[in-house]
Amino acid sequence: MNVPPPYEIRARHSASTVTVYQAYPPSIGLPAARDGRFPAAWKRDRMTWIKPSFLWMMYRCGWGTKEGQETVLAVEITREGFVWALENAELSHYVRGVHPDQEAWRRSLRGAPARVQWDPERDLRLDPLPYRSLQLGLSGEAARRYADEWTVSVRDVTGLAHEIHGLVRAGEWDGAAGLLPRETPLECLSAPRPVPASR
């Protein structure tokens, strides 16, 4: 099996858009999917995390069963917006050798409207894999632009999550894998990594 690079952005994407996943209570998720945009109740002044990995989202929301995360959304955003967030992001934690010192990292983080976190990717059992998945946190300007400028479409994929989960529980691994969204590397994009670039 070919193991992907440890820090690689993989997503469902087109020439102009990137699909990310989030999970919300029905009071937020259902109006967002119905209207194709986030409702006024969606707090634009709070940090929001978007995940290009469907399976990492399933790990986070328990296949759409966790309280407050019952509605799973596939949010298609502009590639331009996604690139802007990456270009203005800082790592979510200090890493020796990447940052000059902790104070420099803190200054950079305070001024960054986006932050990058790399967590282990997940398999269909939601067990960790030996490579990482991007989580992108958006706050301030980035969160507002995400909700009001970058969003192209919002789809409710809760049914898909439940269907795949049902196949997993039945041990029908090939069927479950066949329903997964196809995520491929975004080779022209990069994000801050928790290792020095020379490695």
Q: 171 phi and psi, to 5 degrees?
A: 75, 15
The pTM (predicted TM-score) of the whole model is: 0.93
Residue pLDDT tens, the chain, 199 long = 577 888 899 999 999 999 999 999 999 999 999 999 999 999 998 999 999 999 999 999 999 999 999 999 999 999 999 999 999 988 888 788 788 888 878 887 788 899 999 999 999 999 999 999 999 999 999 999 999 999 999 999 999 999 999 999 999 999 999 999 999 999 877 888 887 654 3
Q: 75 phi and psi, to 5 degrees?
A: -105, 115
Angle ∠(31,37,40) on CA atoms, nearest 5: 70
